Structure 1
Amino acid sequence: MQQPSTLGERIRAVRLHCRETQEEFGRKIGISGNRVSELENGKGGTGAGVVQALCSAFSVSHQWLLSGMGEMLEEAEKPGDENNLSRRLLMLEEKVGRIIGTVDDEGIKNEAVVQVPLYASAVPAGIPAAAADEVESWLDFPRSWTRGKKNIYALTVSGDSMMDIGIMPGDTLLVEARETARDGQVVIASLNSEVTVKTLCISEGGAVALAPENRKYHPIPVPPDSDFRIMGVVLAAVRQYR
């Protein structure tokens, strides 16, 4: 049987081994069943708190969970043991910082998490400038989400025009900064100085429109003489549950 190669696959393996539903599994580690589903499918990173809760609740080896090395299960550890899970997690975080290793399909160890700047401006209220002081914070994303792209940034969504494809107000968008896009891609676009996130539509005749993904709204035509720019292509949307 092939060993799970990603953190999400290993989380799923633990849940199936323990014969838990996603809701049951989530309750035992302090997150929702929906969040468990997202983690299993690689949609969003997770922190040391969830890792610690999972390892503690199911007697899982933290080394196996984070790297796939060794055995899944380990014996329960005694309180006060110098090698207890909490101490080892702290040591691990000090050693590797905010980067967690994984193994790709070719067996090569890579950095699984990359840091992306989150700009202070929200979509569609405005697009952030390139100035460093516009960076609100830095967020960790799975490296696979960036698809090998280099010019990546994050923005926060305002408005409900894209909710039919799962982009909700307050979501964080992972965006590749670029000036071109293909028909059907979700883009950050500026039209006459108004910035928005929409689906780019290009007809066979070359006509361009920005389409919302919400039946309450109508497509926005882009006249040939308008000030229109593509600011980036959306790679992923992230939602946090509080």
Structure 2
Amino acid sequence: MYMRIKAVRKSVGMSQRAFGESLGASRDIISNIEQGRQAISDTLVRLICKVYNVNEHWLRTGEGEMRCEETVDEKLRSWVDEVLSGRPENIRYAFLTVMSNLDDDGWKRIADFVERVYCETHSTTPEEIDREKDRLQLADEIEESENQMEELYPSDGRNIV
């Protein structure tokens, strides 16, 4: 595992000192772990995995991929954190600030704008989009009705009604 810890540190381009500081450990501790002279605590393993998005199974066994697959929410959270840590004059920061102040009407105008852009770039008319929305809503209603019927008349032969 000590070689994999070193691989993680190298993959993020950090010195032993910086890597240790990011984990609340000294350079000497990281050096000793990487040399196999010191055992690593479960707490430090979990912290490395959390801070650097490392697959714990890989870190402990060497099996699988080094990095964990980030969820959409995790990617979004990381991006927002990165933007918020930037400078206020940054366009991404300004964009998030404006978005955070939108009311329902503002969000509707953005949705309408995005729909127009989609129609323009996909040669789709607003009527076709409305028909697709209606089709999806109808499919949802049919599925809900089927679920209600299954509750009343289960397919296993029991009669609830």
- TM-score range, shorter-chain basis? 0.3 to 0.5
Return the structure number with greater helix share: 2
Query: Which protein has the larger Cα radius of gyration, Structure 1 or Structure 2?
Result: 2
Q: Which gives a bigger RCO, structure 1 or 2 (Cα 8 Å, sep 6+)?
A: 1
